[in-house]
Amino acid sequence: MSDPLPGRTLPRPPAVDGWPLPDPASCLAGLAYSTPPGARPLELDLHRPATSDVPPPVVLYLHGGGWAAGDRRWVGAQPGATVFAELTGAGFAVAALDYRLSSEARWPAQLDDVRAAVEFLRTRAPELGIDATRIGVWGESAGGHLALLLGVSGAGLGPVVSWYAPTDLTTLAGDGGTDPDDPASREALLLGAPVSAVPDRAADASPVHRVVADVVRGRRFLVLHGEDDRFVAARQGERVVRALDGAGALVEQRSWPGADHLWLGHATAAAEALTATVRFFTDHL
């Protein structure tokens, strides 16, 4: 989503080079889960609990970055290794993965990639020491969009957590006050054309338009958003909550007044969102 308004440059996380690295004793780093034709090998890091008497359930983590940037080592503005420790400390394995960015491949390559990661985890579960019958999905921003798409796809996955995710690309620009005809917007770069030129493709790439009652009925979703998000308007979260609730899904929602994208501008939203996420997976995965 490009933004012509001054002062609305999408916030970026700090450089990852100075961040704590995963502990090699508890993380299998750089596992190649897929090599799409003509593309780089796609990798994931599997963070594991320090001790576990049984194979742990898995949380699949999908990073944000407007589909154009980012990697598996960061969670919003926080180092991934620090955040993932909260989940591994609660007994979960975390599979944090890279997927093809919009500069590398157009939609639906990104969804194909995360589906390939699920298949990799299921196929390799015995040697990885995980319980692949219990996989939850969590994503932030663009990764939350992909997490919701997995959740409404009938892929046999567990609970889904979405942080400040785009949910309806056909209304994303209007909700945020940007230009749907902009060929340089993040959604245009994902789709290969401005949303106004490819409305059917934009709808196909939107979780809201893929909700089917027979698929989502009884499934659990947690949708978290900042009420003052300037980059993915809070209305996007409200749209998917209405769609899921109307189709019989079990949806929990929370928003934070004053919180911008990445939870910026709110002193406690990031910590509270992480606590809610860990609790949700503890209760339902």
Q: Given this model, what pLDDT does residue 4 score?
A: 31
Tens digit of pLDDT at every position of the chain (285 positions): 433 333 344 554 444 555 555 565 589 999 999 999 999 999 999 999 998 789 999 999 999 999 999 999 999 888 899 999 999 999 999 999 999 999 999 999 999 999 999 999 999 999 999 999 999 999 999 999 999 999 999 889 999 999 999 999 999 999 998 888 999 999 999 999 999 999 999 999 999 999 999 999 999 999 999 999 999 999 999 999 999 999 999 999 999 999 999 999 999 999 999 999 999 999 999
CA distances from 203 to 14, 167, 216, 224, 237 (A): 33, 10, 18, 22, 16
Asked whether the whole model's pTM tops 0.85, one would answer yes
Strand, coil or helix: 245: helix
Q: Which of 139, 202, 152 is nearest to 174 (CA)?
A: 202
Annotate 70-113 with DSSP letters as a single string: --TTEETTEEHHHHHHHHHHTT-EEEEE----TTT--TTHHHHH
Q: State how far the Cα of 23 lies from the Cα of 106, in Å rounded to an integer.
A: 34
Instruction: Give every CB contact of residue 245 below 8 A, 6+ residues apart in sequence.
Output: 251
Distance CA 30, CA 7 (A): 36
Residues 88 and 128: beta-carbon distance below 8 Å: no
Looking at the chain, the number of H-run helices and the number of E-run strands are 10, 10
Cα–Cα distance for residue pair 177/237, rounded to 1 Å: 16
C-alpha triplet 257, 261, 267: angle, nearest 5°: 55
Rounded Cα distance, 204 and 108, in Å: 9
| 3-state SS class at 218 | coil
DSSP SS3 for 276: helix
How many angstroms separate the first and last alpha carbons of the chain?
33
CATH class of 16-284: alpha beta
Q: Other CB atoms closer than 10 Å to residue 106's CB: what's the count?
A: 17
Peptide bond just before 108 cis, omega within 30 deg: yes
* Domain ranges for the chain: 16-284
Q: What is the DSSP letter of 37?
A: T
Token digits of residue 16: 């990852």
CB 93 within 8 A of CB 48: yes
DSSP string, 123-184: HTHHHHT--TTSEEEEEETHHHHHHHHHHTTT-S---EEEES----TTTHHHHHT--TT-TT
